[in-house]
Structure 1
Amino acid sequence: MSFIKPVRRVYTQEDLSKWINSNTFNEILNFICDLQNSILSKSNDYKEPLEDKTEQELAKETEIIDKLIKLFNEIEKIIENHPITNENNQNNKSRFGKIEFRDFYNDLSNNIEALISPISKIGIIETSTYLLNSFGDQTRIDYGSGHELNFICFLYCLNNLQIINSTMYTSIILKIFTKYMSIMRILQKKYWLEPAGSHGVWGLDDYHFLPFLFGSSQLVNHPYLKPKSIHNDEIIDQFHMQYIYFECIYFLNQIKITNNSNEKLSLRWHSPMLDDISSAKNWNKIKEGMIKMYKVEVLSKLPIIQHFLFGSILKCPDDIPEVHNNNNNQSTSDCGHVHNEVINTWGDCCGIKIPSAIAASESLKLQNQSNYKQIPFD
């Protein structure tokens, strides 16, 4: 099998329709469902019974998980090598992304293949491309559900190359996905990454969708933690280290603040969809609903899939042309994809530039002035 650098191929609504009906679409969706089901009713500290796997399976899993954790530890070191150097200049007054993120991204790009090679040298041009794109956009200094999807593509490639397999999925989510999330939180807070798109990830979170999709599965059949528990601060404080969904709520509670940094905003105000979801009868309803919503709002949205990368592992549908000719209704943007001027692009990757709530929260802490009265989401 020959490997190629993954590239964009979906540009139009016609392309999108072909993507939605493709084998690759179904393979990605099924992979996400399998990952979600692998942590059904399992907390982050879940210990798999040793008798469930052979010694050979355990040894292989331990080796791969350790290598993946080491990879992410190395990425953390790269972040540490690129501190913010403009805390006292004019840029600190901005609520938008810190330019030092580009230095981090360049450093990561230069080392990404070397970081992955201990895990697998096979297909490295494809695995490295997806992993690099998992950490946001270097030019726009933003991050969203499309970048998050790249991380799933990275895992899918490892699965396709038989580096990981279904027996490892539980550990992949509870140890590796959570590690990825922790690094993204560092990047978001340190470099003030902006939300990709004009209104965050469809009302769940400024950046993420998948932790809610996976996290809801963990809570299915829990004896006393219910969907409405997200409104109980004591429960969130107690269980955010054990459940991915609760970690997301905990994080939102830390950054969605008023001018008084000790005053938390209502979940209903800053995350109305999460508030609505909390009225569901049980976690299984949320688990199933998250898959349906992800399919529609992420995998089937042109502004996101225009950035999806196709290679030899994740194949582009055969009937999508390699080259598109512009017509009078289309224009190519500086982000590298085609906009249809007839369609309202509200919420796309090139929509209204907005700062993150993290930038608002952190800048309030830095300013710390009694007469500082800016709105936290301006």
Structure 2
Amino acid sequence: MAETEQQSGSTPEDEAHEVTDSVTFMVPKKEISMVPDMSKWKRSQAYADYMGFVLTLNEGVKGKNLTCEYKVSETVEKLLDLLETLDRWINETPPADQPSRFGNRAYRTWFAKLDQEAEALVAAVLPADRCAAAPEIAVYLKESVGNATRIDYGTGHEAAFAAFLCCLCKVGALRVDDQLAIVFKVFNRYLAVMRKLQKTYRMEPAGSQGVWGLDDFQFLPFIWGSSQFVDHPTLEPRHFIDERVVNEHHQDFMFLECIKFINEMKTGPFAEHSNQLWNISAVPSWSKVNQGLVRMYKAECMEKFPVIQHFKFGSLLSIQPGKP
């Protein structure tokens, strides 16, 4: 399924030079303001490129461990430095004393720093001849860490980070041979920083469906993480609810790292606090899990107005209809 759908999105590097040589960069803005606008989103070049990007990475990590060997480019190193900076700012911005348990207002201080520095951080990652793209790409970075008004975080913010990475591919800063490093190094480090934010500032889950959602905060690591397991000789979907298996293998598999975080954050029987994941553990094969999660991601995240109303469109991820 993923293989056939993958073709609908562009291969980011194919477009890199076409995009940068012919397009005037612009600061992305919202275009989806009412439910009927969702049809514009599903027909857009942005949707084709975004889903193409997610599915290309899904294919790229199939059957591979987090600890396998892969190329780490200079751009990947710079992205890790950027995420290290965000992490350090959390240490420098301790939670404030306040009566309410959730949504610590110190998060707003942390976010204000990112808001101020985002363009410079992104410019430092881009090749010198692509710096004009920094204001456009920086918007996705700022959108990817949660909402400063509500002090919440959810799959829409996660999608903004994937869009940020997709834009870096489209301007040629990240290349096709960076695929494994994009997921295993950069996205994995991003997840660690987001988990630290969620814990430190007690962020609310954005638009959470509670027990009926897949996870309070993330979705993509479950897709890519299930792809890592495809054709694994011993570990089957039923094993991820076994805490011993999780503790033994979480450093190799993104999916298990997510389960470990859930186990740390939630109490009570797994079947009660994470019902959807419990149901997934009964699916017979990882390839079926992976296909099902791609379908669920489209239905529950990409095709839901409350998520997509916040998505921003510019020259790199365009609201214009996709090329036939």
In the superposition, the TM-score normalised over structure 2's length comes to 0.88
**Using a 3 Å threshold, how does the CA distance of structure 1 residues 114 and 200 change in structure 2: closer, same or farther?**
farther
5+ long unaligned stretches in structure 1: 49-57, 258-264, 320-378
1:119 alignment counterpart: 125
Corresponding residue of 2:75? 64
**Amino acid across the alignment from 1:220:** V
What are the within-5 Å matches in structure 2 for residues 248-259 of structure 1? Answer: 248-257=258-267
The aligned residue for residue 297 of structure 1 is 300
Equivalent position of 2:108 in the other structure? 102
- Establish whether residue 267 from structure 1 lines up as the match of residue 250 from structure 2: no
Aligned partner of 1:185 among 181, 195, 212: 195
- Percent of pairs with identical residues: 37
CA distance in 2: counterparts of 1:81 and 1:108, whole angstroms: 13
**1:74, 1:231 → 2: CA distance?**
34
Aligned to 1:8: 30
Aligned to 1:135: 145
Per-residue CA deviations over 1:170-218 (Å, capped at 9, x if unaligned) read 1110000000000001000000010001425962111111110110011
Aligned equivalent of 1:73:
84
1:210 to 220, 224, 241: 220
* Contact kept? 2:153, 2:204, Cα under 8 Å: yes
* Of 163, 177, 199, the match for 1:153: 163
Preserved contact between residue 144 and residue 200 of structure 1 (Cα < 8 Å): no
C-alpha deviation, 1:34, in angstroms? 0.4
Match of 1:281 in 2: 284
Equivalenced residue count is: 296
What CA distance in whole angstroms lies between the structure 1 residues aligned with 2:82 and 2:101?
Answer: 31
Q: Which amino acid aligns with 2:80?
A: I
1:23 deviates by 2.7
Aligned to 2:13: none
- Are 2:45 and 1:34 equivalent residues in the alignment? no
Q: Deviations over 1:242-294 (max 9, x none)?
A: 1110011111111112xxxxxxx211100100000111111000111111111
Contact 1:6–1:310 (CA<8 Å) still a contact in 2?
Answer: yes
Cα distance in 1 for residues equivalent to 2:42 and 2:280: 26
- Contact conserved, 1:84 with 1:100, CA < 8 A, in 2? yes
Residue of 22, 37, 47 corresponding to 1:25: 47
Aligned-partner residue type, residue 47 of structure 1: E
Q: Which letter does structure 2 place at the counterpart of 1:17?
A: S
C-alpha separation in 1, matches of 2:103 and 2:165: 28
Q: Which whole-Å deviations, capped at 9, do the CAs of 1:76-119 have from their partners, x for residues lacking one?
A: 11111111131xxx52xx33210000000001111111112121
Q: CA deviation at 1:24?
A: 2.1
SS at structure 2 position matched to 1:122: helix
CA contact (8 A) 1:241 1:247 kept: yes
CA distance in 2, matches of 1:198, 1:251: 17
Q: Give the structure with the larger helix fraction.
A: 2
The answer on 1:44 being equivalent to 2:50 is no
Cα displacement string for residues 41-60 of structure 1 (whole angstroms, at most 9, x for unaligned residues): 11110113xxxxxxxxx5xx
- TM normalised by structure 1 equals 0.76
Shift of 1:318: 6.0
* CA separation of 1:308 and 1:269: change in aligned 2, threshold 3 A: same
CA distance in 2, matches of 1:200, 1:266: 15
Are the counterparts in 1 of residues 40 and 321 from structure 2 also a CA contact under 8 Å? no
Segments of 5+ residues of structure 2 without an aligned counterpart are: 1-22
Aligned equivalent of 1:162: 172
Q: After TM superposition, which residue ranges in structure 1, 4 or more long, deviate above 4 angstroms?
A: none
8 Å contact 1:41–1:219 — kept in the other structure?
yes
RMSD (CA atoms): 1.5
